[in-house]
Amino acid sequence: MARKSRSRGGATSARPAARPARADAAAASPAQVGTAQPAAPAAIDADQATSKKAKIPAYPGQLLGLPERGPGSVASMPRRVLALLIDWLLSMVIAYWLTHSQFWTIAVFAVEVYVLTALGGSTVGKRLVGIRTVRIGGGPVGFDWALVRTAILLTVVPPLLTDRDLRGLHDRASDTIVVKI
């Protein structure tokens, strides 16, 4: 169907009517019928990208405001295990020296961890590997929270259940975290 338009001088010209764009097969050329066209990915604006990044932390301790590396950053698991091994061996030596029996090792270990964590945040093993326990809000752990932390630590399994900030159940219960010195 042709539409007539008038120019300024009054003359008319025939021009084809504009067809609306259609996405169905009738509007497509025969070569394109039946071929799949990949859809372009939806554009993500900067606000969505940053909000997604904020939900997934890039490193342990990011949500707590701790640095990624260096002093004050979250201590790695190998350092923690090494510190635990040093503390346990030291407790064995002290228990054997005091009682000539290794059956008291767990009691010596409990006292060492409790007292040294409450006073300075570091046991002997933690000091040697360069880590310490601190409260999330800052400040020393204190005797009350060190008791909670030590009691749960002695049960063995809960400290192995860590979250994205590498905090075991004993750290979450006492609101503490182990960081590098």
Q: What are the pLDDT digits (tens) for 129-145?
A: 999 999 998 888 999 99
> Using an 8 Å Cβ cutoff, are 131 and 82 in contact?
no
**Which tokens sit at 57?**
């932390």
Mean pLDDT (whole number) for 3-9: 54
**Distance in Å from the first CA to the final CA of the chain:** 83
Q: What is the pTM of this model?
A: 0.68
Cα–Cα dist 85/102, whole Å = 15
Q: Which residues of 150-161 are buried (b: 16+ CB within 10 A; e: fewer)?
A: bebbeeeebbee
Of 55-64, 104-113, 155-164, the range with the highest mean pLDDT is 104-113
Cα–Cα dist 133/154, whole Å = 16
Cβ atoms < 10 Å from Cβ of 92: 16
Assign 3-state DSSP to the chain and report helix, strand, coil percentages, each to 5.
45, 10, 45
Q: Over the chain, what is the mean pLDDT?
A: 81
Angle at 111 between CA 110 and CA 112, to 5 degrees: 95
**119 pLDDT more than 50:** yes
Cα–Cα dist 57/164, whole Å = 8
Confidence of residue 162 (pLDDT cuts 50, 70, 90): very high
The pLDDT of residue 125 is 98
Cα–Cα dist 82/128, whole Å = 9
Domain spans, the chain: 77-180
Span 30-76, pLDDT tens digits: 444 443 334 444 444 445 445 555 568 899 999 999 999 999 999 99
